[in-house]
Structure 1
Amino acid sequence: MNAACSVFGLGMLALLACYIKRRYSKKNQDIDGFLKKHGPLPTNRYTYRSLKKITNSFKDKLGEGGYGIVYKGKLPNGNLVAVKLLKESKGNAEEFINEVTSIGWSNHVNVVTLLGFCFEGQRRALLYDFMPNGSLEKFIYAKNSHRSLNSDELFKIAVGIARGLEYLHRGCNTRIVHFDIKPHNILLDENFCPKISDFGLAKRLQGNNSIISMSGARGSVGFIAPEVYLNGFGSVSHKSDVYSYGMLVLDMVGCRNNANAQVGHSSEQYFPQWIYKQLEKTDECGHQDRLDGEERVTQRKMILVSLWCIQTNPSRRPPMSKVVEMLEGPLESLQIPDTPSLFTPPISQPISSSNVMVTV
């Protein structure tokens, strides 16, 4: 009897192993078929085994987000890389490769460089250049211990991000809407040059069409545009990234944190109204006494541009090409826009502001 049970158990294990192997083989056939259909990818493909060697068995963890864990690694040539090991995804192989293709064909100084990817069954990973200064949120939120950035550095970072978004919206082979622009997704190299990263929520624009059809909203609390998750605010398009950019820059100059400290969570006052009052007093975010003349001009310019970017009606927001022009032009050419109304975005929370999906 025991011998019969053992034989039966071994038979079941063999069937299970065969089933897993066939499913794994089918997934690889799916991705191989996709690659044959669409041609070679503009980046390298790595095995999971090679990733373990590159990361020393995933020993050095750099950070963790809603879509995966990032590890530090070193290529055989000695170059340092960041390896993002994605959490198990319900998406199919084509969706993942579409994402790889979107980033892989991008080539801009302010967009992170994709060095490679891994796809083996449920194991999926992306390899990027290692950014020694990490992400922007480490430098702009007061609770973090990293050194603060001066107004000139912040301005250059703001312009770099704007140029990167302008490229994604208009300049690259495949126009892309990022949908998750926030300090956590802006990486800084050794010279504090910003790189837009994390394209997990990105959508590609089809042809000349700028309007995106979506069944559910995507983005991060505090940065997501109102039209992305509420009907009646306009169409979802590249202008949704413009809104997120405006919120990001307001965080960079400290406006939202200062508004939160002075107005309080319980207040019904909409924080742009607080900013407008500061503008009237020529004290943009409550710390003009710490700034010299040139720094005040830079801060005021960043705030005015941000207020244009966060207009409730998407058609009132400038495209990113115009944002770059406004930032690099004279302050005297910028007018104060109308106060946005009817929508109160939550104050962003450092570190814990993770990706959220909101059903429309």
Structure 2
Amino acid sequence: MESFFRMILLLFCFILIVRVPELLAARDECQPKKCNHHTIRFPFRLKGQQQPEKCSYPGFGLSCTEKNQTVLELSQHVKFFVKRIDYRAQRIHLYAPQGCLARQLPNDLSASPFQEDNRYTFGLEINPQEYIIFNCSGEGQMTDRYEDFEIPCLSIPRFQVLAVPSYYGAVSLLNCTRTSLTISVTEAFKDMLHNRKMDVHLSWSKPNCNICEVEGRKCRLKKNGNITEDETECYGRSKKQRDRPKKLLATGITLGSCLLGIILFARYRVHHSYKAEKEGQLKIEIFLENYKALKPSRYSYADIKRITDQFKDKLGEGAYGTVFKGRLSNDVLVAVKVLNNFRATAEEFINEVGSMCRIHHVNVTRLIGFCADGNKRALVYEYMPNESLEKFIFVAKDKDHFLSWEKLQDIAMGIAKGIEYLHQGCDQQILHFDIKPHNILLDHNFNPKISDFGLAKLCSKEQSAVSMTAARGTIGYIAPEVLSRNFGKASYKSDVYSFGMLLLEMVGGRKNIDVTVESTSQVYFPEWVYNCLDKGEEFGIRIDSERDAKIARKLTIVGLWCIQWYPTDRPSMKAVVQMLEAEVDSLTVPPNPFGHGDGVQTTSVKIPRKTINRELEVIFE
């Protein structure tokens, strides 16, 4: 928790460092002001706001009305509303308030810092033009030549006011009197004079802040020494420099959020793992308390290290743990399986100990003791000097490792009797779910012993199927119904299927999922074995005598019966033992579950198949 708060503090400091320039910028004495949606900054200033002289330019005063309208005064009596200010182009867009525009048109812009923006006069003359004012009354009618000169807002019925350009000279209008009043306006203001236009664009050339605007920096007057009052300077950071802290801030927040998420997720996983580990340890302690009557030996982790001489002699390694050779105090050799904390759960440990404590059979490895010391767990078995069956059957072509066919038959018989004992010999039925050569150990006389009960399940003998939340076992040995409900429900027949695959591997001398074979017809191993049996071909390993051939054929027939697709088509392990004890001539070749292989008609003995109820009672986990 302390490291978590330390990380939060570092993130806060990073954000604070990134924000420092912006905080310092807030102290700028020429900070822009706001009126409506307009930003008022140099060369403009908002009247009534106290700012240093360098923050504005004479003649650029703006007012903000009670209605939040921005007003520019060109002279004492001439006021316009501001529509838009373009600081970069140095122009302002004005529009006239309601009323008579003629009364407030500027006589001359020369006193103002603004001039008419020629970008909006389309090349027209922008020099001021003098207009003479005429008063016209009575019934007299103006000629078409002078209709455009009327000032609508100053005219009333039977009394018109005209503004006539001075370049017309001394003109005489019927019923009109020339006044001494003149107005000097540009061409653009002429449109406002006659109410044909309600807005105008003005621009300014001094002060010039174009460079500052292009760079995205601020502008102000220089007020040092002999510098002229029109001279400006740029200050502050450019837009690129201002954007950099924002980008850094955004990056920092993103990285900080990701880091925070990772920390929270890691803490959750650690907490979850710690909680699961504690629950697992509690479950194990409750289990061991209940199984005290079976009197298994319990060792501390220090005892395990002493027995294995600090894990000196490694015998093998699997998915759920590593096996070391050890020696008890009475010089009895043992095999110690140290469970992997990340893969082996409390359930696997309880399955193994709970199953092994119930078993007392010559063909099942004997559990001598166990270790459950916190999260350190280990199992202590009797030592098997010849290791596993896998070491011998997959090197069948090697004379130094090849077991005789009689020995293979004895091994098959021992495994079958061991599985039969698990299914029927214990108080509760034990389903192994991981029968394979690697889990068949051989003692000094090559007697087989079934090991590794991590995936085992206990159930009542009266019930024949088990419901599982997920498939369990090793690919190549898993029964079809364990993978798909289309073939039925998982039961003791699933162990029969795995045993059948083991028998076929013993006969064929290779793994059933080996794709490095010479012929593509051998890729699906069980079908290849069936075709070899059907055609009377050899399986590619040594068969020196007729007796050997009969043993190989017997093991093959039994194996093929065991791997029938549907559980109810497979024999029980008791029937398997009887088949292994019988003569090969009395055995019936099972129906071909694979069709006709490569298109060759089989000569297998076909037996009538009676309708079998495939529904088995389910045992829930």
Tell me the residue number matched to 1:152: 406
Deviation at 1:64, TM superposition (A): 0.2
Partners of 1:255 and 1:299 lie apart in 2 by: 11
In the alignment, structure 1 residue 310 sits paired with structure 2 residue 560: no
Tell me the residue number matched to 1:11: none
1:65 to 304, 318, 328: 318
Deviation at 1:32, TM superposition (A): 3.9
Contact 1:84/1:126 (CA < 8 Å) preserved in 2?
A: yes
Deviation at 1:299, TM superposition (A): 0.7
The 3-state SS of whatever aligns with 2:485 is coil
The 3-state SS of whatever aligns with 1:81 is strand
List aligned pairs for 1:241-256, cutoff 5 A: 241-254=495-508
* Structure 1 residues 27 and 279: alpha-carbon distance in aligned structure 2, compared to 1, 3 A threshold: closer
1:280 to 515, 534, 547: 534
Partners of 1:239 and 1:25 lie apart in 2 by: 36
Deviation at 1:26, TM superposition (A): 8.1
Partners of 1:142 and 1:35 lie apart in 2 by: 41
The 3-state SS of whatever aligns with 2:487 is coil
List aligned pairs for 1:15-164, cutoff 5 A: 31-88=284-341, 93=346, 96-142=349-395, 147-164=401-418
Tell me the residue number matched to 1:201: 455
The 3-state SS of whatever aligns with 1:217 is coil
* Structure 1 residues 284 and 38: alpha-carbon distance in aligned structure 2, compared to 1, 3 A threshold: same
| Unaligned ranges ≥5, structure 2 | 1-5, 7-270, 598-621
Partners of 1:109 and 1:304 lie apart in 2 by: 26
The 3-state SS of whatever aligns with 1:69 is strand
Q: 2:526 is matched by which residue type in structure 1? A: P
Partners of 2:540 and 2:276 lie apart in 1 by: 60
2:547 to 288, 294, 310: 294
The structure where helix makes up a greater share of residues is 1
Point out the more displaced range, 236-245 or 85-94: 85-94
2:490 to 236, 239, 256: 236
Partners of 1:261 and 1:242 lie apart in 2 by: 27
Report sequence identity in percent: 50
Partners of 2:476 and 2:277 lie apart in 1 by: 40
The 3-state SS of whatever aligns with 2:571 is coil
Deviation at 1:155, TM superposition (A): 0.6
Deviation at 1:36, TM superposition (A): 3.6
List aligned pairs for 1:256-275, cutoff 5 A: 264=519, 270-275=524-529
Deviations 1:177-227 (A, max 9, x none): 111111100000000000000011111113521211101001112111111
Tell me the residue number matched to 1:167: 421
Contact 1:278/1:286 (CA < 8 Å) preserved in 2?
A: no
| Unaligned ranges ≥5, structure 1 | 6-18, 345-360
Point out the more displaced range, 113-122 or 30-39: 30-39
Q: 2:483 is matched by which residue type in structure 1? A: Y
* Structure 1 residues 294 and 25: alpha-carbon distance in aligned structure 2, compared to 1, 3 A threshold: closer
Deviation at 1:273, TM superposition (A): 3.4
Deviation at 1:280, TM superposition (A): 3.1
* CA root-mean-square deviation: 3.1
Partners of 1:118 and 1:335 lie apart in 2 by: 49
- Structure 1 length normalisation: TM-score? 0.81
Q: 2:296 is matched by which residue type in structure 1? A: T
Partners of 2:280 and 2:340 lie apart in 1 by: 17
* Structure 1 residues 143 and 246: alpha-carbon distance in aligned structure 2, compared to 1, 3 A threshold: closer
Aligned residue pairs, count: 324
Q: 1:167 is matched by which residue type in structure 2? A: Y
The 3-state SS of whatever aligns with 2:323 is strand
Partners of 1:91 and 1:37 lie apart in 2 by: 21
* Structure 1 residues 90 and 154: alpha-carbon distance in aligned structure 2, compared to 1, 3 A threshold: closer
Deviations 1:211-257 (A, max 9, x none): 11101001112111111112201110010011110111111112656
Point out the more displaced range, 62-71 or 331-340: 331-340
Partners of 2:522 and 2:407 lie apart in 1 by: 33
* Structure 1 residues 31 and 182: alpha-carbon distance in aligned structure 2, compared to 1, 3 A threshold: closer
Q: Who wins on radius of gyration, i.e. which is larger?
A: 2
* Structure 1 residues 38 and 335: alpha-carbon distance in aligned structure 2, compared to 1, 3 A threshold: same
Partners of 2:479 and 2:276 lie apart in 1 by: 40
Partners of 1:253 and 1:138 lie apart in 2 by: 14
Partners of 1:278 and 1:185 lie apart in 2 by: 27
Tell me the residue number matched to 1:355: none
Q: 2:374 is matched by which residue type in structure 1? A: G
* Structure 1 residues 95 and 295: alpha-carbon distance in aligned structure 2, compared to 1, 3 A threshold: closer
* Structure 1 residues 281 and 42: alpha-carbon distance in aligned structure 2, compared to 1, 3 A threshold: same
Contact 2:352/2:452 (CA < 8 Å) preserved in 1?
A: no
Partners of 2:459 and 2:560 lie apart in 1 by: 26
* Structure 1 residues 93 and 299: alpha-carbon distance in aligned structure 2, compared to 1, 3 A threshold: closer
The structure where strand makes up a greater share of residues is 2
Deviation at 1:282, TM superposition (A): 2.1
Tell me the residue number matched to 2:580: 327
